[in-house]
């Protein structure tokens, strides 16, 4: 089966869910999510079965190269993220119902819930396409497919001012960054005369290219990509949008959107990094961006009091580590070596998916019993629900990069690459960032385990839905297993 | 499964089982006794005569990709790690046994308490048994979060949360620096493997060894990293407050066992991989270790309560071990290893007794205590043993070890009188200092008039006597017959020196 069938299946699934929502009388609209979850599980399994299209010359599929295993790995990330986001969304649905419509007489009490499950499917299809897009046109179209879906999802809680504010901010800045991206594409096309990344790579590698124009194109593309992945100095939207968006969507943005942003940026930056005349300056800019992102993300996370904002800054900090890997791209690839920015970034994002989604799963479960998302409101969680506290502890340990967790290997790989390339500035900044990380991630653990509870705190046990519990256990096991044997994640890259 | 894999993973699995609902105390105690027996069996099966090679090897490949260092879950023992394995197993049994004596255990869930203890102990065992650089590092780090929670939840005093933060940030940042140093060393050696034996082989070969220019800055990274973990002066400030505020079993395990990891890493990793760097910084190390012995020795004397004093004394004694390592000959190095063992047992014993007294008397301040020996003679006897052992009186393991360290260090430079010999002469005064503070503490606590307010209650029961006796008997056994451990240490140390000479 050719790879692109998968995207088609996912889009079809999304359409089926919309139709079911519109035409089938359901007691409980949460069953729509089950269609999505089952369908995505099948798609995830199919990922291990597919192979690339044999005939890439066929006119339409020139937009579309899926013949590398990296693309498959990122598709896997997209599918898995969406799957877990749906799990969260089911748990979160009472909040959505509460914050969307006050149904008129006779309308379904959960009206407006169905699309909340269907829209992520379209975003997922976009993310999957993005993973294998290798043409400026397909990159742009897939990127917009994702972004526009996110505009809707971020602002989904329409009776909630925070969600609306987040949506407006995301829309304006997102549209601006899209503008930069297209402008950059135009310049790139002007220099190289091609939309195809392979041809662009050859064109840029010529010694006589116009370096000023090429660097300008790179700067524009970097701005847009930095916006998508949340790298400094284009990270300012992240905390506000993350805080305002519905929790499952925040998780989706934080993992899916970031992963896709990075694969696109990797593909777009590779031609520039392979171009002899400008590679020095490109690397320098990337180094500066990476260092700034590491410092901004980690230091701004320290004083945060809101858990979602903290995770937002943490996602900036992780973008810093990922940029660090990209900035440490080797000048010359050692024959057969797998220690390249691509594998390192792919691994990091795989680990990041596990630990971030685990944290958000705990958070969306907690949202059912308490509205507050302040770190302080997690006090006494260790007594209320030892399981949730333990799950969050593992997520935080992994995010902080404590050994024997997946997150540790992510950081080790980045440092291996940076030290091998002798990027000492980045090593030092990364070290400072990781040190700060210890503090702010452990702050969550301290709140759960060490903070004394107060008199009128709710101390009743917390009910966890079986689905969430199973997902959390699976994520915990995966984090620890990958911490012992990082080969498990590398194995998925083929 | 090899026996080492069982020894390493049994405590970790037990922690998981406790988390799932098994009876906490019974599981923890049963497992630690099983681990102790398994370690003794290992020691009996161990062939002490084989020089410097690892025994009981087991290995499972976990990552083998071109470009990435090869990773495997590999365990093995030589004489040094065997001694430290025994130390960990003995202290773990004593710590788990004595745990319910502490009233602080009621502050939180017993499950969390025992699971954390098992993770701390199991992590130490894993670190000492690993022959893969990554797991050696990672198992040590396993203790980081349990320690944080244990001190923060079950610790003593008002400042316990602050102290928990201090120790965690100190050790976390120290390990990060260490990690960068280790990665730098691995990359400088070609970045092809994490296996310690292969790395040493590469470092020995002049073609593949690390260039002296790189050694010059890799070694300081390792020294600072390991130095923070082992509370080398001036990176020591986390240790004393942490030990005095930690729950007793954690103080026993951390001061007794886990802290030795820094020294173990210096001997096993830093010196063989970057020998030229180690030599370059020898004088710096000598100055720092004198800081530990003399400066911190005097700080110890000035302490006004027993728990603080013990915390500082444990930091101070690290200086002797460094001296043995710095000596660079077989005698000094074997003394250092023996002292790691002896110090680990004796400080665990002291913390165990001090913890019991804190619970009973409500205070450990010298000016509020006195004359306890009359009403609690058995406690007085046991504490006397512990204090004398710690001060290095003959008959205890500490004496045998310290003598070897001092003789070794004095010989270290042959006939010339250089830095090392001067350092040894100054360090000898440390023996006097530790006698001063230990005897003063004993006098304050057990002699003299008893303050009227002090209620002593009944003497230590068998629940305390058994773990205490376990530690005392170990100290005496090794003190009278050092050969019980030296037979393992000697060949291993000679193997390490061969590496350096090659």
pLDDT tens digits for A222-235? Answer: 999 999 898 888 88
Q: Quick check: B440 and B301 in contact, CB under 8 A?
A: yes
Which residues sit opposite B365 in a β-bridge?
B305
Q: Which residues, including other chains, have CB under 8 Å from residue A153's CB and lie 6 or more apart?
A: A116, A119, A120, A123, A245, A246, A249, A252
Option in B63, B180, B191 nearest A427 (CB): B180
Taking residues B39-62, report their average pLDDT: 83
pLDDT of B495 reads 79
With an 8 Å Cβ cutoff, is B172 touching chain A? yes
Torsion of CA A407, A411, A417, A420, to 10 degrees: -130
pLDDT tens digits for B94-130? Answer: 999 998 877 777 777 888 899 999 999 999 999 999 9
Mean of the per-residue pLDDT values for chain A? Answer: 87
Count of CB pairs separated by less than 8 Å, A with B: 109
Strand B71-77 to B55-63 pairing: antiparallel
Q: Do A438 and B173 touch (CB under 8 A)?
A: yes
Distance between start and end Cα atoms, chain B? 34
Decide which of B417 and A167 is more confident.
Answer: A167
| 3 state SS of B468 | helix
| 3 state SS of A196 | strand
pLDDT of A60 reads 59
Closest CA of chain B from A475, distance in Å: 16
pLDDT of residue A57 exceeding 60, the answer is no
Q: How many domains does chain B have?
A: 1
**Weakest-pLDDT range from A189-193, B261-265, B414-418:** B414-418
Q: Do A450 and B161 touch (CB under 8 A)?
A: yes
Binding-face residues of B in 63-92 toward A, CB within 8 A = 63-69, 71, 73
Option in A434, A449, A487 nearest B153 (CB): A449
pLDDT of B493 reads 85
Q: Quick check: B42 and B86 in contact, CB under 8 A?
A: no
d(CA A232, CA B492): 52
pLDDT of residue B52 exceeding 70, the answer is no
Percent of chain B with pLDDT over 70: 98
pLDDT tens digits for B312-325? Answer: 999 999 999 999 98
Task: Specify the DSSP class assigned to residue A377.
Answer: G
pLDDT of residue B24 exceeding 90, the answer is no
Q: List Cα–Cα distances, B225 to A467, B143, B212, B238, in angstroms.
A: 43, 16, 20, 14
pLDDT of A217 reads 93
Mean of the per-residue pLDDT values for chain B? Answer: 88
Taking residues A427-434, report their average pLDDT: 92
Binding-face residues of A in 273-292 toward B, CB within 8 A = none
CA A328, chain centre distance (Å): 21
With an 8 Å Cβ cutoff, is B183 touching chain A? yes
Residue B453: band (very low, low, confident or very high) from pLDDT cuts 50, 70, 90: confident
pLDDT of A58 reads 56
Highest mean pLDDT: which of A59-68, A206-215, A469-478? A469-478
Taking residues A462-475, report their average pLDDT: 91
Q: Do B176 and A420 touch (CB under 8 A)?
A: no
Query: For residue B426, what are its two tokens?
Result: 């100054």
Percent of chain A with pLDDT over 70: 94
Q: Quick check: B209 and B278 in contact, CB under 8 A?
A: no
**Of residues B117, B134, B129, B118, the one with CA closest to residue B175:** B134
pLDDT of residue B295 exceeding 90, the answer is yes
**Of residues B154, B129, B153, B156, the one with CA closest to residue B140:** B129
pLDDT tens digits for A14-49? Answer: 999 999 988 888 888 888 899 999 999 999 998 888
With an 8 Å Cβ cutoff, is B362 touching chain A? no
pLDDT of residue A62 exceeding 60, the answer is no
d(CA B110, CA B112): 5
pLDDT of B437 reads 92
**Weakest-pLDDT range from A175-184, A400-409, B335-344, B366-375:** B366-375
Structural domain range at position B328: 3-501
Residue A96: band (very low, low, confident or very high) from pLDDT cuts 50, 70, 90: confident
pLDDT tens digits for B223-278? Answer: 999 999 998 888 888 888 899 889 999 999 999 999 999 999 998 888 888 888 88
Taking residues A399-410, report their average pLDDT: 92
d(CA A8, CA A14): 10
Option in B63, B145, B165 nearest A490 (CB): B63
pLDDT of residue A53 exceeding 60, the answer is no
Q: Do B176 and A397 touch (CB under 8 A)?
A: no
Q: Quick check: B358 and B442 in contact, CB under 8 A?
A: no
pLDDT of residue B501 exceeding 60, the answer is no
pLDDT of residue A274 exceeding 60, the answer is yes
Taking residues B378-405, report their average pLDDT: 91
pTM given for the model: 0.92
Q: Do B191 and A420 touch (CB under 8 A)?
A: yes
pLDDT tens digits for B353-389? Answer: 999 888 888 888 888 888 888 888 888 999 999 999 9
Q: Quick check: A371 and A306 in contact, CB under 8 A?
A: no
Taking residues A434-461, report their average pLDDT: 85
pLDDT of B290 reads 92
pLDDT of A64 reads 63
Residues in chain A with CB shorter than 8 Å from the CB of B143 are: none
Highest mean pLDDT: which of A63-72, A89-98, A99-108? A89-98
Percent of chain A with pLDDT over 90: 49
pLDDT tens digits for A284-321? Answer: 999 999 999 999 999 999 999 999 999 999 999 999 99
Give the helix/strand (H/E) hosting A405.
none
**Of residues B318, B323, B316, the one with CA closest to residue B286:** B323
Interface test with B, best of A337, A381, A449, A490 (most B CBs within 10 A): A449
Binding-face residues of A in 94-133 toward B, CB within 8 A = none
Residue B68: band (very low, low, confident or very high) from pLDDT cuts 50, 70, 90: confident
pLDDT tens digits for B430-445? Answer: 999 999 999 999 988 8
Half-sphere exposure in the Cβ direction for A40 (13 Å, CA): 30
Residue A172: band (very low, low, confident or very high) from pLDDT cuts 50, 70, 90: very high
pLDDT of B422 reads 86
With an 8 Å Cβ cutoff, is A442 touching chain B? yes
Taking residues B451-459, report their average pLDDT: 79
For chain A, the structural domain boundaries read 288-494
């Amino acid at each position: 089966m050719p790879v692109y069938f998968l995207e088609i299946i996912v889009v079809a699934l999304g359409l089926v869910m919309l139709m079911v929502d519109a035409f089938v009388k359901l007691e409980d609209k949460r069953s729509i999510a089950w269609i999505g979850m089952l369908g995505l599980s099948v798609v995830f399994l199919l990922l291990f079965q597919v192979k690339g299209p044999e005939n890439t010359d066929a006119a339409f599929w020139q937009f579309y190269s899926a013949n590398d295993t990296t693309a498959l790995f990122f598709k896997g990330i997209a599918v898995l993220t969406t799957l877990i986001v749906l799990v969260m969304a089911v748990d979160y649905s009472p909040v959505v119902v509460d914050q969307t419509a006050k149904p008129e007489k006779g309308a379904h009490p959960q009206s407006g819930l169905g699309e909340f499950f269907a829209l992520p499917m379209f975003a997922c299809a976009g993310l999957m396409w993005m993973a294998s897009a290798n043409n400026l046109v397909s990159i742009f179209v897939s990127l917009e497919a994702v972004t526009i879906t996110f505009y809707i999802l971020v602002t989904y809680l329409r009776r909630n001012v925070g969600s609306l504010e987040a949506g407006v901010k995301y829309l304006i800045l997102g549209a601006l960054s899209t503008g930069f991206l297209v402008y950059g594409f135009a310049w790139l096309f002007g220099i190289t005369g091609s939309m195809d990344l392979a041809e662009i790579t050859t064109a840029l590698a010529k010694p006589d290219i116009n370096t000023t124009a090429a660097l300008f194109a790179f700067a524009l593309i970097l701005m847009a990509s930095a916006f998508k992945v949340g790298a400094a100095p284009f990270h300012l939207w992240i905390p506000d949008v993350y805080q305002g968006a519905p929790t499952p969507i925040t998780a989706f943005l934080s993992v899916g959107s970031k992963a896709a942003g990075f694969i696109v940026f990797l593909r777009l930056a590779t031609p520039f990094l392979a171009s002899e005349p400008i590679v020095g300056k490109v690397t320098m800019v990337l180094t500066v961006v990476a260092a700034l992102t590491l410092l901004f993300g980690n230091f701004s996370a320290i004083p945060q009091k809101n858990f979602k904002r903290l995770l937002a800054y943490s996602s900036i900090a992780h973008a810093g580590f990922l940029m660090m890997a990209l900035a440490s791209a080797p000048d010359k690839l050692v024959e057969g070596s797998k220690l390249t920015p691509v594998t390192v970034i792919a691994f990091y994002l795989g680990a990041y998916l596990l630990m971030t989604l685990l944290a958000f799963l705990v958070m969306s479960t907690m949202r059912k019993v308490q509205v507050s998302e302040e770190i302080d409101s997690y006090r006494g969680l260790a007594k209320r629900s030892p399981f949730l506290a333990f799950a969050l502890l593992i997520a935080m340990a992994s995010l902080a990069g404590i050994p024997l967790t997946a997150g540790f290997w992510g950081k080790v790989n980045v440092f291996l690459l940076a030290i091998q390339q002798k990027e000492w500035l980045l090593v030092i900044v990364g070290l400072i960032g990781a040190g700060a990380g210890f503090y702010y991630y452990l702050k969550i653990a301290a709140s759960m385990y060490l903070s004394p509870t107060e008199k009128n705190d709710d101390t009743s046990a917390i009910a966890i839905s079986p689905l969430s519990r199973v997902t959390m256990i699976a994520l915990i096991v995966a984090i620890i297993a990958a911490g012992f044997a990082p080969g498990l994640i590398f194995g998925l890259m083929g | 499964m090899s026996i080492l894999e069982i020894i390493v993973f049994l405590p970790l699995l037990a922690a998981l089982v406790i988390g799932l609902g098994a009876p906490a105390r019974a599981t923890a105690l049963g497992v630690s006794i099983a681990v102790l027996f398994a370690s003794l069996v290992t020691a009996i099966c161990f062939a002490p005569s084989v020089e410097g090679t690892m025994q009981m090897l087991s290995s499972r490949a976990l990552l083998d990709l071109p470009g990435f260092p090869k990773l495997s879950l590999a365990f093995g023992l030589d004489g040094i790690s065997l001694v430290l394995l025994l130390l960990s197993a003995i202290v773990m049994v004593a710590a788990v046994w004595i745990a319910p004596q502490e009233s602080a255990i009621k502050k939180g869930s017993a499950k969390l308490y025992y699971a954390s203890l098992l993770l701390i102990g199991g992590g130490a065992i894993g670190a000492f048994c690993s022959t893969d650089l990554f797991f050696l590092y990672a198992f040590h780090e396993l203790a980081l979060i349990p320690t944080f929670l244990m001190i923060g939840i079950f610790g003593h005093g008002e400042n316990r949360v602050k102290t928990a933060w201090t120790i965690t940030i100190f050790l976390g940042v120290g390990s990060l620096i260490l990690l960068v140093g280790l990665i730098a060393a691995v990359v400088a050696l070609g970045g092809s493997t994490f296996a310690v034996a292969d790395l040493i082989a590469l470092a020995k070969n002049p073609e593949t060894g690390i260039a002296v220019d790189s050694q010059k800055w890799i070694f300081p990274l390792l020294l600072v990293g390991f130095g923070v973990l082992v509370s080398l002066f001036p990176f020591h400030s986390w240790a004393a407050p942490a030990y005095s505020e930690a729950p007793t079993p954690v103080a026993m395990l951390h001061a007794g066992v886990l802290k030795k990891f820094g020294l173990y890493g210096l001997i096993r990793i830093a010196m063989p991989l970057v020998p030229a760097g180690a030599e370059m910084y020898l004088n710096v190390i000598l100055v720092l270790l004198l800081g530990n012995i003399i400066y911190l020795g005097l700080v110890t004397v000035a302490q006004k309560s027993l728990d603080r004093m013990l915390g500082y004394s444990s930091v101070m004694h690290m200086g002797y071990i460094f001296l043995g390592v710095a000596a660079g000959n077989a005698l000094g190095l074997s003394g250092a290893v023996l002292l790691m063992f002896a110090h680990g047992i004796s400080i665990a014993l002291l913390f165990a007794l001090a913890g019991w007294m804190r619970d009973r008397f409500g205070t450990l301040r010298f000016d509020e205590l006195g004359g306890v020996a009359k009403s609690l003679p058995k406690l007085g006897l046991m504490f006397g043993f512990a204090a004398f052992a710690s001060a290095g009186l003959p008959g205890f393991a500490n004496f045998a070890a310290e003598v070897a360290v001092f003789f070794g260090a004095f010989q270290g430079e042959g006939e010339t009188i250089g830095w090392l010999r001067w350092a040894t002469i100054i360090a000898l005064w440390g023996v006097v200092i530790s006698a001063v503070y230990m005897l003063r503490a004993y006098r304050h606590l057990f002699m003299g008039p008893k303050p009227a307010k002090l209620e002593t209650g009944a003497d230590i029961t068998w629940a305390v006597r058994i773990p205490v006796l376990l530690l005392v008997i170990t100290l005496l056994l090794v003190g009278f017959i050092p050969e019980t451990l030296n037979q393992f240490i000697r060949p291993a140390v000679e193997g390490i020196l061969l590496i350096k000479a090659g």
